[in-house]
A and B are shown apart, each in its own frame.
Chain A
Amino acid sequence: TAGITQAPTSQILAAGRSMTLRCTQDMRHNAMYWYRQDLGLGLRLIHYSNTAGTTGKGEVPDGYSVSRANTDDFPLTLASAVPSQTSVYFCASSFLAGGGNEQFFGPGTRLTVL
């Protein structure tokens, strides 16, 4: 099985443009997450979804939106990119949101906004 995949691997984007980062998992996990990772900072939660059809805001949701139309896919959209959104973006999933359910991470998308 592929586990959790992300696309694209990397992208250079002009400021003001929109972009969707894709995330797909084949583990039938209920919960999915989007994080950004910046040098010197811990992973910061952007948005999450505890189950298909529901989404919630994390620590740094401004400028990002998500949808969860089905179990497998959890795309992250930047409506109008700004340079401060330059980061490595990780999608993750877990069987359930609580308990000892570990999160499995995708390989990441490295985004540069110029």
Chain B
Amino acid sequence: GQNIDQPTEMTATEGAIVQINCTYQTSGFNGLFWYQQHAGEAPTFLSYNVLDGLEEKGRFSSFLSRSKGYSYLLLKELQMKDSASYLCAVRDSNYQLIWGAGTKLIIKP
């Protein structure tokens, strides 16, 4: 079966750094996406990885290791507005996205 695992909830302090992990087992791999979803809103795209390594985009970075079936999203200089759920999704061999249940990130002042 196909499976995407993420921690259910994480707490971090404003101004700090947090790493959200994602492990996956899917039928094929055609890229990994991270999305942000604020409560009651639609998911919005953050990052895309298809090759191993780190992709940096401002305060957010995403890392991929295909051999380990592992990715992480790194958020630096945390702000209160970063309080949201972070969704990991893998594009499988049928080019469909398989989604994790999301990690709810709580930022404390």
Contacts and interface: CB of A to CB of B under 8 A. Distances in A.
B102 A42 contact: yes
A53 interface: no
B30 A105 contact: no
B101 A40 contact: yes
A100 B31 contact: yes
Interface in A86-103: 90, 97-100, 102-103
A48 B96 contact: yes
Nearest to B45: A102
B66 interface: no
B64 interface: no
Interface residues of B, number: 22
Interface in A14-54: 35, 40-45, 48
A90 to B, nearest CB: 6
Nearest to B88: A42
B4 A104 contact: no
B105 to A, nearest CB: 16
Nearest to A106: B42
A107 interface: yes
Interface in A62-114: 90, 97-100, 102-108
Contact of B43 (A44, A48, A58, A105): A105
Interface of A: 35, 40-45, 48, 58-59, 90, 97-100, 102-108
Given A42-B99, A43-B99, A103-B97, 14 more contacts: A40-B101, A42-B89, A42-B98, A43-B97, A90-B43, A98-B91, A98-B95, A99-B31, A102-B45, A105-B43, A105-B44, A106-B42, A107-B41, A107-B42
